[in-house]
């Protein structure tokens, strides 16, 4: 089974990225599935307008994934821009894409509501995403619930192409981990860069401590019993801690005499236990930029081999 996932280098990765997407990818990698992971720097251009910023962010994403568990011996990792065939396929798909299909996409409407500029790139984002997926003939695509509609667009476009030109593309399925609920940010809303409520994977430890200790809570006094379910600190803690530790915190909240400050300190300790080894690995990788570039170039070579095989069939089908 071939599994493909992508990540935009549009900002620092945070806890929500790790538990919402990265960890499930590493779990699939461990099962021996055929994995592709691309850094979607073309997609990021819809919001990132400085070349130096995009280059640095692309490098940071690669370092973060490699530090947290991506194994280039098991997963083909590459920059989207290193596979130009994707853009070629995006044009062919664009010629079959109804405007109404794109106009109904939630993500575009949401970004307009948040003040993003209404560009063609932002509007046509689902077509490029479809090209990313279809060119690798992916079977499964790990996505968040907010991206599920884009995968449905991918399936629609694959079916339209197949109806017009013959059976070229398989229809990929979404993989949405059921065990991961919405990950709360420091203000209790969904953790998202758009809401400015994230905690970065590798921020300065002092900054992480400040954010954790500043997580918004209610005014229930320490001595009073508290319901852990729905509590942001508890919901974050259960991502990092063992089942036994989670049960212990839940019992402490319900018994009373356990304050939010104590829970925040436990959350911070659990974060460091998991991420301190990742941080050390990242620092080691960052000291050898040539080795990082070699990994990305080797991944691009393998990705282009797969993309070229697909495009040979596509070009013949469309008459080129």
Catalytic residues: 111, 190, 193
Give the Cα separation of 254 and 226 in Å (integer): 5
Q: How many residues does the chain have?
A: 320
| C-alpha dist (Å) from residue 106 to 149, 249, 259 | 8, 38, 40
Cα gap 156→223, rounded to integer Å: 56
Give burial (CB, 10 Å; 0-12/13-18/19+) of 34. Answer: middle
Which residues contact residue 16 at a Cβ distance below 8 angstroms, ignoring those fewer than 6 apart?
Answer: 183, 185, 190, 191, 192, 198
Q: How far apart are CA 142 and CA 46, in angstroms?
A: 22
* H-state helical runs in 75-170: 85-94, 99-103, 106-113, 120-123, 125-134, 148-165
In three-state secondary structure terms, 305 is helix
Beta-sheet pairing, 140-142 with 75-79: unpaired
Cα within 13 Å of Cα(249), Cβ side: 27
Q: What's the CA gap between 304 and 80, in Å, rounded? A: 10
Q: How far apart are the first and last CA of the chain?
A: 30
Yes or no: say if 205 and 231 are a contact pair by the CB < 8 Å rule.
no
């Amino acid at each position: 089974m071939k599994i493909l996932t992508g990540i935009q280098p549009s900002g620092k990765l945070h806890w929500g990225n790790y538990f919402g997407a990265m960890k499930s990818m590493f779990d699939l990698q461990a099962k021996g599935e055929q994995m592709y992971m691309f850094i979607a720097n073309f997609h990021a251009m819809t919001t990132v307008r400085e070349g130096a910023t995009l280059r640095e962010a692309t490098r940071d994403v690669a370092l973060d994934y490699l530090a947290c568990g991506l194994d280039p011996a098991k997963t083909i990792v590459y920059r989207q821009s290193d596979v130009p065939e994707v853009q070629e396929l995006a044009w062919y798909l664009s010629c079959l894409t109804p405007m109404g299909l794109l106009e109904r996409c939630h993500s575009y409407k949401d970004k307009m509501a948040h003040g993003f500029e209404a560009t063609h790139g932002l509007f046509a984002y689902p077509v490029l995403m479809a090209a990313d997926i279809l060119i690798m003939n992916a079977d499964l695509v790990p996505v968040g619930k907010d991206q599920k509609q884009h995968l449905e667009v991918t399936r629609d476009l694959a079916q339209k192409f197949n109806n017009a030109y013959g059976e070229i593309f398989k229809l990929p399925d979404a993989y949405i981990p059921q065990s991961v609920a919405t990950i709360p940010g420091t203000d209790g809303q969904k953790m998202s860069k758009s809401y400015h409520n994230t905690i970065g994977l590798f921020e300065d430890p002092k900054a992480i401590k400040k954010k954790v200790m500043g997580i918004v809570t209610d005014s229930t006094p320490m001595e009073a019993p508290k319901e852990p379910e729905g509590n942001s600190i508890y919901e974050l803690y259960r991502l990092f801690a063992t089942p036994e530790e989670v049960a212990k915190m839940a019992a402490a909240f319900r018994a009373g005499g356990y304050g939010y400050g104590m829970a925040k300190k436990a959350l911070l300790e659990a974060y460091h236990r998991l991420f301190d080894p990742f941080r050390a690995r990242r620092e080691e990788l960052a000291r050898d930029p040539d080795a990082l570039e070699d990994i990305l170039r080797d991944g691009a070579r393998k990705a282009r081999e797969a993309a070229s095989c697909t495009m040979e069939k596509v070009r013949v089908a469309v008459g080129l």
